[in-house]
């Protein structure tokens, strides 16, 4: 069977130009006022603009729906955009625990979660991920864990997720290409590779080729 006419398998080929990506986001992942406030907060409040994009945010929401998620952990809140996306997909009795290292970022995130209408479904916990995660275990097992925080600890976060996620639950890890440095000789590169290898061992997993890679795994 001949290849589809619009498919190009050459290494590095991509059709995701900025105008194409912007169009797709407008059609499939549009923001209402609450989501826009959270997404725009980094630029307006002096926070690094390193949150997931609109399409990745919508993907997180759809994944929560597909998994029937009720209990979710997020490592890395920032301004609350991804938390708002996921929380909106949870049922009324669902809950998301989101961990943020920076207290100011956490406070801004709480404001944005109120504006997005999901404050009752999200608890923002301030502290380092490696310290906070053990305190959440009493609420588990969890249906999904989303990791988007300090890259040098991804392997630790992934190991915690594998131990505290139910069979069939999701592991999601953003920036899995590590800004193009995944195979470099750096400590955080080695930590990210361990994260990938753990995911492949403990989950049925794939690394989705988003702009910086998104690991998705289903717990075995």
Write out 67-120 in H/E/C secondary structure: HCCCEEEEECCCCCHHHHHHHCCCCCCCEEEEEECCHHHHHHHHHHHHHCCCHH
Q: Say which DSSP state 146 is in.
A: E
pLDDT band at 13 (very low <50, low <70, confident <90, very high): low
Angle value at C-alpha 161, between 159 and 167, nearest 5 degrees: 115
pLDDT in tens, 69-103: 999 999 999 999 999 999 999 999 999 999 999 99
> Residue 6 carries which DSSP code?
T
Give the model's pLDDT for residue 15. Answer: 84
Q: Determine how many CB atoms are found less than 10 A away from the CB of residue 45.
A: 13
Which pLDDT does position 16 carry in this prediction? 83
103-119 residue pLDDT tens: 999 999 999 999 999 99
Mean pLDDT across the stretch 13-32? Answer: 91
Look at residue 181 and give its three-state secondary structure: coil
Q: What is the percent of the chain where pLDDT is above 90?
A: 92
Gap between the Cα atoms of 150 and 139, Å rounded: 23
Buried b (16+ CB within 10 A) or exposed e, 150-179: bbebbbbbbebbbebbeeebbbbbbbbbbe
Q: Predicted confidence band at 5 (pLDDT cuts at 50, 70, 90)?
A: very low
* pLDDT average, residue stretch 198-203: 98
pTM value is 0.93
**CA 197, 53, 7, 217 torsion: positive or negative?**
positive
Q: Which of 210, 217, 101 is nearest to 159 (CA)?
A: 217
DSSP state of 49: -
**12-19 mean pLDDT:** 78
Is residue 198's pLDDT more than 60?
yes
Is the pLDDT reported for residue 1 higher than 50?
no
Q: With 50 as the cut, is the pLDDT of residue 9 above it?
A: no
Lowest pLDDT segment from 15-19, 86-90, 125-129: 15-19
Average pLDDT of the residues of the chain:
94
Q: For residue 57, name the pLDDT band (cuts at 50, 70, 90).
A: very high
Pairwise CA distance, residues 124 & 176, whole Å:
24
DSSP 8-state class, residue 212: T
How confident is the model at residue 58, as a pLDDT?
98
Q: Report d(CA 46, CA 120) in Å as an integer.
A: 26
Gap between the Cα atoms of 67 and 213, Å rounded? 21
Count of beta carbons in the 10 Å neighbourhood of residue 17: 9
Residue 207 to residue 217: CA distance in whole angstroms: 9
Q: What is the pLDDT of residues 159-194, one digit of tens each?
A: 999 999 999 999 999 999 999 999 999 999 999 999
Q: Find the mean pLDDT for residues 123-140.
A: 98
The domains located in the chain, with CATH, are 18-219 (3.40.50.150)
3-state secondary structure of 58: helix
């Amino acid at each position: 069977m001949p290849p589809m006419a619009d498919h190009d398998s050459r290494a590095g080929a991509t059709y995701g130009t900025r105008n194409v990506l912007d169009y797709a986001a407008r059609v499939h992942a549009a923001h209402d006022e609450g989501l826009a406030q959270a997404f725009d907060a980094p630029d307006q409040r002096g926070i690094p603009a390193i949150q997931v994009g609109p399409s990745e945010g919508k993907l997180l929401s759809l994944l929560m729906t597909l998994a029937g998620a009720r209990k979710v952990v997020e490592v890395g809140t920032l301004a609350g955009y991804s938390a708002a996306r996921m929380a909106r997909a949870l049922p009324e009795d669902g809950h998301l625990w989101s961990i943020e290292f920076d207290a100011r970022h956490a406070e801004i995130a709480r404001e944005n979660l109120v504006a997005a209408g999901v404050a009752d479904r999200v608890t923002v916990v301030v502290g380092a991920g490696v310290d906070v995660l053990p305190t959440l275990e009493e609420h588990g097992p969890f249906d999904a864990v989303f990791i988007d925080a300090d890259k040098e600890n991804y392997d630790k976060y992934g190991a915690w997720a594998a131990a505290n996620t139910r069979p069939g639950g999701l592991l999601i890890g953003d920036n899995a290409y590590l800004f193009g440095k995944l195979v470099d000789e750096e400590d955080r590169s080695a930590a990210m590779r361990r994260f990938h290898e753990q995911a492949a061992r403990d989950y049925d997993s794939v690394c989705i080729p988003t702009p910086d890679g998104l690991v998705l795994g289903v717990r075995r």
